[in-house]
Structure 1
């Protein structure tokens, strides 16, 4: 039985990421291997053929998810009683892909209609609580514990927010938790411009609104953040390519604008 999907245009980006993770899963040697994504795509009544021009982005989306999974496992290994706060979770299957300690808490946040669709497709997930709200609203924070170390995940989110909303959201998280990690991805200013030219993004009436400044400058703007790790998406993708493609990608990685097109960042904080 297929599920009808009725989402406003700007929320179709969550279907883009889902589709690309499913494409990766079909590869002979997947980067992420998200079998849950393929299952959900097969159950959704949606013309994914509309997203065909995005196929080339599948390695990027799978590589990003794989890196964020690794950082999530690392956090839970060190903080088995910690809290994972997944902002704009969309239809991501991370709590199913990762072995979570029974003592940990996990909270997903997204728009109410996205959470409703998510629960229809995945069903209840043990140890996971879902909050239906825009992440830039304030009220939902009252439902989030303040007494645990936290991992705040903002995968594929901040670039879609207005710069002022990025600042408010990050500062709100830093005030809320006593200690933790902040993990997100950021794009270079030139990527912000080019991404808006993609037909699928124009059709969804969405585009990048925020570009990542220098990582240390971001930390300085949002004390008490401290940079723990920075990864170039280009460098990470090269590790999953054929020898010939890897040589080309690594050559491009020596060009700073290309190397810094998208970065995955992990910060620590203690209030």
Structure 2
């Protein structure tokens, strides 16, 4: 662990660098007097990591969207754990997500899965918690399920801010890995619309990195077409929460008109069975 008030440079891959975007906005929101989230670990990390976070300050849309998605998933994951207190949660492409440190995990086991460079940063800067584990592997490495003890457990898979960086074939491959290893699982997947996925150059923060989007779909329910074991359950659109958090007139209109609302990111909820 780095010493207090010190900063340290970190080395991350191209896509992995994007994890610093949500980290920064969670920290900014936490510092507000009446912030919508409380993530002191994010504040600590931003203070300790030597990086020009200020380049993301112009991304007001991303900032609001990230706060909205955090509020939504915090609530829904806690609800799932409350209903399945002995479950297993697998956070795929975890980045520097601190949700496992902020929620009441009951008797659940939590696994954070990401590339070795990301896990190295997590180990350096983030505290540990009982029944929480890290897996330093690509999610396309078919051996990662061997590191998860999920026998006879309800399984929740989280894919937040991940699938848009994959190709469709990679999305299918990950689904197959999950399907092969778990008889039944619940997936909370962040989904980007096809139009936005094709226009990385229009994004207000990803353009500040070298990463690009690769995949999106027109409707969340269409993801169920990728595999016969996938069943669409519901979706939670970010713009609904964004409209609650902001008085912007266009946001409030977008939340009520499906055509506009559908262009916003959302969480698709799916059941995956063998």
More helix by percentage: 1
Superposed displacement of residue 32, structure 1: 2.2
Contact 1:24 1:59 in 2 (8 A): no
What is the aligned counterpart of 1:258 among 257, 260, 264?
A: 260
What is the aligned counterpart of 1:19 among 21, 24, 34?
A: 24
Distance 2:230 2:123 in 1: 33
Give the equivalent residue in structure 2 for 1:126.
Answer: 130
Q: Mark the runs of 5 or more structure 1 residues left unpaired by the alignment.
A: none
List per-residue Cα deviations over 1:46-74 (Å, max 9, x = no partner).
11122222244211101111211122112
Which structure 1 residue ranges, 4+ long, deviate > 6 Å from structure 2? none
Contact 2:68 2:242 in 1 (8 A): yes
What is the aligned counterpart of 2:141 among 134, 137, 142?
A: 137
List per-residue Cα deviations over 1:217-268 (Å, max 9, x = no partner).
32243233322221221122101123xx2x4312123444420121211122
Q: Identify the range of structure 1 (157-166 vs 253-262) with the bigger mean alpha-carbon deviation.
A: 253-262
Give the equivalent residue in structure 2 for 1:158.
Answer: 163
When residues 213 and 199 of structure 1 are mapped into structure 2, their CA distance, relative to the original with a 3 A threshold, is closer
Contact 1:196 1:208 in 2 (8 A): no
What is the aligned counterpart of 1:112 among 116, 133, 158?
A: 116
SS where residue 180 of structure 1 aligns?
strand
Q: Identify the range of structure 1 (26-35 vs 73-82) with the bigger mean alpha-carbon deviation.
A: 26-35
Give the equivalent residue in structure 2 for 1:173.
Answer: 178
1:79-118 equivalent positions in 2, closer than 5 A? 79-101=84-106, 103-118=107-122
1:1-271 equivalent positions in 2, closer than 5 A? 1-101=6-106, 103-147=107-151, 148-198=153-203, 200-242=205-247, 245=248, 247-261=249-263, 262-271=265-274
How many equivalent residue pairs? 267
Distance 2:15 2:131 in 1: 29
Distance 2:19 2:38 in 1: 18
Superposed displacement of residue 203, structure 1: 4.7
Distance 1:33 1:223 in 2: 39
User: TM-score, normalization: structure 1?
Assistant: 0.91
List per-residue Cα deviations over 1:31-55 (Å, max 9, x = no partner).
2222221121111111112222224
Q: Mark the runs of 5 or more structure 2 residues left unpaired by the alignment.
A: 1-5
Contact 1:234 1:258 in 2 (8 A): no
Distance 2:206 2:250 in 1: 27
Distance 1:237 1:39 in 2: 26
Distance 2:140 2:71 in 1: 26
